[in-house]
Amino acid sequence: MRHLAAALVACFCSISLAKAGPYTDDLSKCLVASTTSDDQVVFARWLFGVLSLHPGVGNLASITPDERAAIDKKAIDLYVRLMSVDCRQPLVSAIKYEGLGAIQTSFQLLGQVAMRGLMGDTKVAQGLKTLSLAVAQDQKLISLLREAGAPLPDK
């Protein structure tokens, strides 16, 4: 059931990745290898802060201007460290041979890895279970899964 919830969240949160070349792949691998779980939380906190600026979800988070500035500073410091120190050579090669889009593609992958890390937390997994349980009990969705030949979720 956890896998079903994770798949559903991935659908909602998926980011369209451009076709990456070998240099972008190297940059992506470097970014992931160079970040700790704490770094990934910094990235996720920044993303959460940015998303909270949208009027449709802004009321769900209360981030003060000082907190936002601190979150932004940590994210900027992480970004600069990754680009100028940890992954400097893969970045230069990716830009040189595949263009500036390599940066966006590589950081999108890092964002996905960070999301997987957050989703592995027991409290987050418990929260996802609510959606999974609803799906497992919804007859329209069960019928759709049967029609598609997908394995049915556990109840």
| Residue-wise burial string across 96-134, b where 16 or more C-beta atoms lie within 10 A, e elsewhere | eebeeebbebbbbbbbbebbebbbeeeebeeebeeebbe
What are the tens digits of pLDDT across the range 123-132?
A: 988 888 888 7
In a domain, 3, yes or no: no
Q: According to the model, what pLDDT value does residue 27 have?
A: 96
Separation of alpha carbons 15 and 120, rounded Å:
19
The residue among 117 and 56 whose pLDDT is bigger is 56
Residue 3: which of 110, 129, 112, 115 has the closest Cα? 129
**Is residue 85 predicted with pLDDT exceeding 80?**
yes
Number of domains in the chain: 1
Q: According to the model, what pLDDT value does residue 12 have?
A: 43
In a domain, 155, yes or no: no
Structural domain range at position 105? 18-137
In a domain, 152, yes or no: no
Q: According to the model, what pLDDT value does residue 144 have?
A: 86
What are the tens digits of pLDDT across the range 7-41?
A: 444 444 444 444 679 999 999 999 999 999 999 99
